[in-house]
Amino acid sequence: MKLRATRYELIGRVALITLNRPHRSNAWTGRLDTELRWCLDRADHDDRARVIVLTGAGERFCVGGDSQALQQHADKGRYDNGLDHGLGENDALATPGYGLHPHFNAPFASHFGLSKPIVAAINGAAAGIGLALACFTDIRFASEGAKLTTAHGKLGLPAEYGLSWILPRLVGVTRAMDILLTSRIVLAEEAANIGLINAIHPPETLVEETLAYAEGLASTASPGSLLATRRQVYLDLHRDVGQAVEASIRLVEEMMTGAEYRQGVRALLDKHPPNF
């Protein structure tokens, strides 16, 4: 696919995906959606990539739906994904992460079915669908002063793209209700205090710090462990504690027969870092 609204790079063992519409503050369009799915699918199947980092070009992460696209939706009285314009028959929507669990076969929820961790570098404003995109990553770093908002209330819309599901699980029901009902702006500093953001960095070093963190994940944990652990977390959100314990026992028994476990034990005994 010819990428116009995104950028895909492999940096070490990290797939860096950049929303690349800085002239429109990386506002969401059907084209952007299509390309992002393609990039995630490529990263998920790229054996060289161990971790995925997602960020935005310019000074903003994603300000939500593009205003011009929103007007088209209003004019047509329905959501128009714009896929009839400029995309060939070979550029159909990719579905990365689909198939692991029926509940994950939906936009953004499908991130839970990916085989690799996703780390967001929120380099500025994230609103509406942009905030949802960030929330459905595994780890979130943000630049100082970044503004986060659900935005939907001021547009006469419901909470978008699963924010009503994910936010209570990230920050608790009471805080999520405040953020969702008011559609107010939450600065990165407050978001870090309530657990929505893992860490804050200066704008000029945010991506560098995030890439370093991602490379650290790739260096210290085996690919099989990264895959199994994140899938455990998301599958456990959809099953009871007994099922979670039983699943973990099965995984331990299975993975102890593998080469990664043998390599990890040898590195521990020899007192040197494993080389997965």
User: Same domain for 228 and 198?
Assistant: no
Average pLDDT, the chain: 92
152 pLDDT higher than 60 = yes
pLDDT band at 74 (very low <50, low <70, confident <90, very high): low
Task: Give me the number of domains the chain comprises.
Answer: 2
Task: Tell me the pairing of strands 186-187 and 147-149.
Answer: antiparallel
Mean pLDDT of all residues in 66-80: 66
Please report, for the chain, how many H helices and E strands are present, in that order. Answer: 10, 9
Mean pLDDT of all residues in 153-175: 95
- Cβ contact 185:147 at 8 Å: yes
Show the domain range for 171: 6-219
User: Same domain for 122 and 140?
Assistant: yes
User: Same domain for 181 and 110?
Assistant: yes
Mean pLDDT of all residues in 213-219: 95
Q: Is the residue at 276 inside a domain?
A: no
Give the per-residue pLDDT at 89. Answer: 47
User: Same domain for 136 and 148?
Assistant: yes
79 pLDDT higher than 60 = no
Under 8 Å CB-to-CB from 75, ≥6 apart: which residues? none
Greater confidence, 220 or 73?
Answer: 220
Q: Is the residue at 138 inside a domain?
A: yes
User: Same domain for 168 and 226?
Assistant: no
User: Same domain for 139 and 243?
Assistant: no
Among 30-34, 64-68, 185-189, which stretch is predicted with the lowest mean pLDDT?
Answer: 64-68
User: Same domain for 214 and 227?
Assistant: no
CATH of residue 159's domain is: 3.90.226.10
Q: Is the residue at 1 inside a domain?
A: no
Q: Is the residue at 265 inside a domain?
A: yes
What is the dihedral angle through the alpha carbons of 8, 108, 181, 206, rounded to the nearest 10 degrees?
A: -30
Model pTM greater than 0.85? Answer: yes
67 pLDDT higher than 80 = no
Give the per-residue pLDDT at 82. Answer: 56
